[in-house]
């Protein structure tokens, strides 16, 4: 079975540009999580979905960030407009149904650099 798939693996963009990060969860998983990791702030949960519905978006830093999950096999995290302080590694994770979301399976991450 393929793991969680994220694209792109690396993204370099200029301040003010729109950035879209993509995630394909493991088939059959019904929870999907978006995290951001930086040296300064560590690992932060941005938002998570259950059965394609956003459950908690309290970690989304501001209105420039938005996330969608149009179906069970795809999610996007969009930043518009991007700023240098958004530079980080963004992880997507998914988890099995019925396991109280404990065992999360992480993707390899997208390293975003905003110049």
Partner 1 sequence: GNSVTQMEGPVTLSEEAFLTINCTYTATGYPSLFWYVQYPGEGLQLLLKATKADDKGSNKGFEATYRKETTSFHLEKGSVQVSDSAVYFCALYHNQGGKLIFGQGTELSVKP
In the complex with partner 1, the residue whose CB is nearer, 6 or 82, is 6
User: How many residues make contact with partner 1 (CB under 8 A)?
Assistant: 22
Q: Which residues from 10-69 bind partner 1, rule CB under 8 A?
A: 31, 33, 42-43, 45, 48, 50, 55-56
CA pair distance 45, 62, nearest whole angstrom: 13
User: In the block, which residue shows the tokens 């110049």?
Assistant: 115
Q: Rounded to the nearest whole angstrom, what is the least distance from the CB of residue 102 to partner 1 in the complex? A: 5
Q: How far is CA 22 from the centre of its chain?
A: 7
Task: Please report whether residue 74 would count as binding partner 1 according to CB under 8 A.
Answer: no
Shortest reach from residue 53's CB to partner 1, in Å: 12
């Amino acid at each position: 079975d393929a793991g969680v798939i994220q694209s792109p693996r690396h993204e370099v963009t200029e301040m003010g540009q729109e950035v879209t990060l993509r995630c394909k969860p493991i088939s059959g998983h019904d929870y999907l999580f978006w995290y951001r990791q930086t040296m300064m702030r560590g690992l932060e949960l941005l938002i998570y979905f259950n059965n394609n519905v956003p459950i908690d978006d309290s970690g989304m830093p501001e209105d420039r960030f938005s996330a969608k999950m149009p179906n069970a096999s795809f999610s996007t995290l969009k930043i518009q407009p991007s700023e240098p302080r958004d530079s980080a590694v963004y992880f997507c994770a998914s988890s099995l149904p019925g396991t109280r979301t404990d065992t999360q399976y992480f993707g390899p991450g997208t390293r975003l650099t905003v110049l």
